[in-house]
Structure 1
Amino acid sequence: MENKITSGIWFVFIGMVLLLHNINVIDFNFVPTLKYWPLLIVIVGINLMVQNKVYGNYIKIASNVLFLGWIFYIGITSPSTHWTESLLNNKNIQIGDLEDGQPFENNVQASIDSGIHEARLEFNGGAGKFELTATNKEQLLTAKSQDNAMGMNLQSTINEGVQELTLNAKPVSDNKKSGAVLIDLNPDILWDFELNYGAANITGDLSSLSFKNLEINTGASNLDLTLGAPKSETAKIAIATGASKIHFHIPEDAAISVKYSSILSKNSFEGFETKKNGIAKTANYDSADKKYDIEIDGAANTFKITRY
């Protein structure tokens, strides 16, 4: 009975925090709470020590309530800049307040410099909805705010034969309401991506795109991407996130390895042969010439891979 009570306390706490956060009643920052995970070991130890004791049930309830109360206090009192900077590996990106001296526009584009066959994109954005496509063969990149609620600026440089792009996006409407942005990429270029964003919704079909690195640093977000077969020897995907939903659609014959060290997360990998010691692999991974290496790190995520 006491186990059901303590489990119920946890479910009620998590459900209420997520609900209040999603409807903007509270601004709960998840990442600062992660460093207190060793306290879970203390709670488990207390539960074992007082098991079958006269007042054991009351002690279990009290210890769990105190722990969750502390977590709630940390989550609602930590400023947004603290957890976003930590999540983005101290890259000093101020999500939602991107200022670099350039004006923000509703439409930006970058042309392809002559002789360029490889490009790198660093995308920094706050809350919003972003759709990625790979259909534009005339430009290297175009980005358009579909409702004029988002502003962007784009910088382009050449470094050792690689065209490097930095795309910043943030709400520019008077009420600071986030909007939708369509980002169209050139499919004939080999890409290297770094996506840094806050509580955003990112979708897209990148099945025609070739990339060698995809680094994703995000807060509580939804990410739904369709990828094609790997076109480089090892295409690496690194994800650092918390309380997010991540869904990749990958061809059924693609070779994939997934390394996951996430806490309190739900993982679903379709078509994988081995799943042990935090690593999942497809049957053809070791023998394939081209493959995906995926690594996900974070907490309270839902990570799903489906095959098509």
Structure 2
Amino acid sequence: MKSDKIFWGILFVFVGGIFLLENFGVIDFSWHYVWRFWPVILILMGVNILFSRSNSKIGVLVTVIITVLTLGLLTFKGLQKGQKHDHWDFGFSDGVKDGWDNRDDDNNNNTDSTVNYQEAFEDGTNHAVLNIKGGAAKYILSSGTSSLFTANTTGNRRPFYVLRTEKVDRTTTVNFIAKSSKTIHFDGDESNDITMSLNPLPTWDLNLTMGAGKADFDLSVFKMQNINIKGGAAEFDVRLGDLSKLVNLTAETGIADVTIEIPTGVGCRIKTATGLSSKSFEDFIDKGNGNYETSNYNSSAKKINISFKGGLSDIKVKRY
């Protein structure tokens, strides 16, 4: 058997096994932490290419040993969630001066730092768009505010975020963007939490793009219209309300854990275009071809349309 087939077989067994054990609560695996080692997959693919041209048993054996040892190490790291690890910090200046450039890197200080961001609410703002782009972090959005938007970042790594707004007529677009630090960290104690609040008066569109991390959004008290989520090895928990007649939610993920909560009084339709994903849609009717609906979808005055696109994801939609 060729080494390339063995490599992909081992990789699929590894990912599928982790998902299976997680679903049954046997293990608590941190995809968030493991995602920072994604270049290792490229290295494994390179090793596989080098030995795939050789039909020798030694080449196959070397490929198997390297793949198993590497995936074993990643499994060990993923199961170390919440525990302390050695701190490896390869820092490079980003060339941008900000208040965080004055920190003392030589001390390797793990003290949490907090930065506050705020955009004032202007009367007459009927529609608002929130664009969030970030890296490995935990995003929390749950409460209202008299401002249009507020965010508090807390972590032991400097939060490279820029807040910019654009106003056209009665629509305000809020861009909350993480700047690249050009810094590589392998630190189990690294944390970056972002707590955000929105004004409940406007109708909101929300666009979230992130790599590895977690998003915990309780949007039940806001008038949502369009929600777009894109992420890699991430965890998304989104709770929707019944304040809008129509909500469109699109989720495009890689290796992710996605949970959406919707009110029982709102009709919901789900369209899926996913790979080897685990799906759990409570109280939904399977319409075939990856489509699901609640029994009250056609009769309900308020509707939620959900579209899932992704690879190896664990997807759940619950009604409350």
* Equivalent residue number for residue 110 of structure 2: none
1:228 aligns with 2:241: yes
The reply on whether 1:145 has 2:146 as its aligned counterpart is no
Matches within 5 A, 1:64-143: 106-136=115-145, 138-143=146-151
Kindly indicate whether residue 200 of structure 2 is the aligned counterpart of residue 204 of structure 1. no
Deviations along 1:15-73, whole A, 9 cap, x unmatched?
A: 589979766497237999xxxxxxxxxxxxxxxxxxxxxxxxxxxxx8xx99xx7xx9x
Answer whether contact 1:119 1:190 (CA < 8 A) is retained.
yes
Distance 1:30 1:217 in 2: 23
Deviation at 1:269, TM superposition (A): 0.6
1:179 is aligned to 2:192: yes
SS in 1 for 2:144: coil
Could you give the per-residue CA deviations for residues 224-269 of structure 1, whole angstroms, max 9, x where no partner exists? 122112513x211011111100011211221100000100001111
SS class of match (1:112): coil
In the aligned structure 1, how far is the partner of 2:318 from the partner of 2:162? 34
**Corresponding residue number in structure 2 for 1:189:** 202
CA distance in structure 2 between the aligned counterparts of 1:195 and 1:295, rounded to whole angstroms:
15
Alpha-carbon shift at residue 171 of structure 1 (Å): 8.5
How much does 1:108 deviate?
A: 0.6
Distance change in 2, residues 1:119/1:98 (3 Å): farther
For residues 148 and 27 of structure 1, the distance between their equivalents in structure 2, rounded to whole angstroms, comes to 20
Tell me what 1:94 maps to: none
Question: Which residue is equivalent to 2:3?
Answer: none
Alignment of 1:272 onto 2:281: no
Query: What is the identity, as a one-letter code, of the residue corresponding to 2:163?
Result: L
The yes-or-no answer on 1:164 pairing with 2:173 is: yes
Please say which of residues 126-135 and 23-32 is displaced more in the overlay: 23-32
Aligned match of 1:80: none
Q: 2:250 aligns with which of 230, 238, 260?
A: 238
Contact 1:223/1:246 (8 A) holds in 2: yes
CA separation of 1:119 and 1:299: change in aligned 2, threshold 3 A: same
Count matched residues.
246
- SS for the counterpart of 1:261 is strand
1:28 maps to a residue whose letter is: W
Which region of structure 1 is more displaced relative to structure 2, 8-17 or 157-166? Answer: 8-17
SS in structure 2 of the partner of residue 13 of structure 1: helix
Contact in 2 for aligned 1:109/1:139 (Cα 8 Å): yes
Output the aligned Cα RMSD.
4.0
TM-score (norm 2): 0.65
Cα separation, 1, equivalents of 2:294 and 2:30 = 39
Give yes or no for contact 1:224–1:247 (8 Å, CA) kept in 2.
Answer: yes
Alpha-carbon distance in structure 2 between the residues aligned to 1:116 and 1:180: 28
The answer on 1:27 being equivalent to 2:37 is yes
Distance 2:243 2:192 in 1: 32
1:143 aligned partner, one-letter code: A
Change (3 A) 1:152 1:301: same
Identity, in percent, stands at 28
Which amino acid in 1 is paired with 2:272?
Y
- The alpha-carbon distance between structure 1 residues 301 and 30, as it changes in their structure 2 partners (threshold 3 A), is farther
Cα contact 2:222–2:243 (8 A) shared by 1:
no
TM-score by length of 1: 0.68
User: Given that residues 224 and 246 in structure 1 are in contact (C-alpha distance below 8 angstroms), is that contact kept between their aligned partners in structure 2?
Assistant: yes
SS at match of 1:229: coil
Equivalence for 2:302? 290
Are residues 106 and 273 of structure 1, via their aligned partners in 2, closer, same or farther at CA, if it must alter by over 3 Å?
Answer: same
- For the residue of structure 2 that corresponds to 1:146, the secondary structure is strand
Structure 1: gaps spanning 5 or more residues: 33-61, 77-96
Stretch deviating more after TM superposition (210-219 or 267-276): 267-276
Cross-structure match for 2:14 = 13
| Equivalent residues of 2:247, 2:303 under 8 A apart | yes
Aligned residue for 1:155?
164
